[in-house]
Every structure is written in C-alpha cells, then in structure tokens.
Amino acid sequence: MYKKLFIPGPTHVEDEILEAMSMPMIGHRDSLYSDLHGDVVKKLKTFLETEERIYLSTSSSTGMMEGSLRNCVKGKALMTNCGAFSRRWARIARANGKDIDVIEVEWGKAITPDMVDAYLSKGGYDTVCITHNETSTGIMNPLEEIGKMVKEKYPDVLVLVDAVSSMAGVEIKVDEWGLDVVLAGVQKAFALPAGLCVVTVSEAALDRSTQVENKGYYFDFEVFEKKAVKHQTPATPAISQINALNVQMDRIFEEGPENRFQRHQDMAEYVQDWAREHFDLYSDEDYLSHTVTNVHNTRDIDVVKLNEELAKRGAMISNGYGDLKGTCFRIAHMGDLKVKDITWLLEQIDDILGL
C-alpha cells in the first residue's frame, strides 16, 4: 500500500517530479545535457545565495562527505559530534587516515560557536566539519553563527557542512555565512528520489584540493571542476534526476524561497506544539529543527505498532534512531509536505492512541 512519508528521508515525492524523471534519455556529452546542467546550477546558485561553484554528484551525500574530507583536509580537522549523523564525519575521516579532534556533546544538545572557537583557538586545524541539522536528535545547529565566527577569527580554516536534511527547507546563505563546502542529498527537503547530491565548493576549498594528495578520483574537486566549467560531470550523471531537480527548482521559485522556509517553520511549530501537549520534546528548545521533530516518548507507546496502524491509513513516521529507538519517535516535516498534511497525520495519531 502506498504510504505518505513523514520520515527524515526519503520524503514524499509529488507526481510532477516523478513525471519529470520520465524524460527521454539524452547523451551526457550532448549540448542538451549541458544546457540542462547549466540551468540547474544557475538556479541553485541563486537559491543558495552563492557565486561559488556548484557540483552535481551522482552519489549519496555520504559519498560527497568523504570526497570533501579527502579534498579539504591537508593537516588536522575538527569534528563536531551531536548525534548519529554528525558522528559520521569522524568515522569517515578516520577511515581515510585523517588526523582529527572531536567535540562531543550530549544527544539533544547543539554545537555552539563558543565550543568551536575554544578548539580552534588552540591552533593546528585547517578544517572544521558541521552537521547543520541532526535528524537523529531533532537539533538544528547555529550554522550562520558558527560559519561567520570561523571566517572572522580563523580565515584559513575551511568550513565543511552537511546540510543533507536542511538544504531547501531552511535558508542557507553560503557566501555570507563563510561556508566552503555545503552538501545535500535531494531526497530530503528537495523532495526528489534519492541518488543525487548537490555540493557548493568555494575557491578556497578548490585551492586546498590542489594541495592535497591521494584524493581518489570519483570525488576529486579538480576533476569535477574541469567538467563543471563546460556544464558537465566527470562520469555519467543521473540525468533523469537532474531534470527533475530542474523542475523542482522552478516550483521552489514559484512558491517563493521565503514562503517555502516559512512553510517548513509553520509545520515544525505545529508538530512541536502537539508534542508538548501530548508527549515532550527530546531536543533543546533553543535549537529545534525546522525539518524534523524528535518526540520524547513519555507515554511509552509502542512506536512499531503505531506505525503499523498508520500504514493502514497511508502514512509512515520514524522510530527513534539508535539508542533512542522506542524512547523517541520522529516526525519529519520537509519537502513538499504542507501544514494540512501534518494536521491530517496528527489527527490519525490522536485517533489511534485515543489522545
């Protein structure tokens, strides 16, 4: 049975986007593709408020996380761990033999500029990695403040950002905030099928890449750049998804970016108010995510059985992640979902639980 997804990715995909993926296939070295690629990149630059380069990678976001570390970490990197997905930065770095330190905070808490400043002030770092929105805990880290602080006080330190579950759901001003690499998979707030990653790369990040050895090939920024200037990719891209992204960007501008961001905030506030009334919020109230809410299961409901009943009604939410399984459950409100979808979902949960 078809279920509308209220999970932190993949998210619900509109029919218009699915139809855009059924385009006739074209050659990826053809001018038709170059035109398509160029159009998408131009729209993304406007949307993300950047004059820097944007690459389209046929990969998961995790792939480009690894790629950015291999391109940008020449000496030592600072990792910021506030949950399961921010922890992935450190795991990838270690797997690639990178020298790192890690800021660790309790799950449900945020990474703050003061924490990052305290580590960077010791010296010796050339990169800092931030996860903007931590879907395992429902925390949105203060990216703007962190980025601006780093660029003001430590201009030679590159800022790498996992914006997987925030890009296209909240405002991100890449250049103004001093962000060197910002990456996101399209299966979350962009509301496309999975398999394509958007990444912004600053001049400083590309320059660092030229100084780093043993970067591999598939994610080498220098290899990407040689093709990007021709509006192409080094390897065969996900053409159908890129066409769908082009259509989605038109839909985003038709709605208006500010309206889109406000819609995400409205959905978040609706779910958060509901959670406060019937359960509790697991996350720090000062840093609540606009794209996913982590509900503290204070009623000790069976989340698996709740999802089984929701499936009969055509919906799906997420259990808590890792150690939070059963202790929490997560409701995503991102992409093309609207407040009316959230209202309907919560009415179903209320009815099932007798709230």
CA distance 69 to 75: 11
3-state secondary structure 45-112: HHHCCCCCEEEEECCCHHHHHHHHHHHHCCCEEEEEECCCCHHHHHHHHHHCCCEEEEEECCCCCCCC
Q: Where along the chain do its domains lie?
A: 4-10+255-353, 23-254
Q: Say which CATH topology domain 23-254 has.
A: Aspartate Aminotransferase; domain 2 (3.40.640)
For position 1, what pLDDT does the model report? 66
The pTM score is 0.97
- C-alpha 30/C-alpha 122 separation (Å) is 51
The CATH number assigned to the domain with range 4-10+255-353 reads 3.90.1150.10
Q: Residues 75-95: pLDDT tens digits?
A: 999 999 999 999 999 999 999
In this prediction, residue 2 carries a pLDDT of 81
Six-digit token pair at 58?
């046929």
pLDDT (mean) for 323-338 = 96
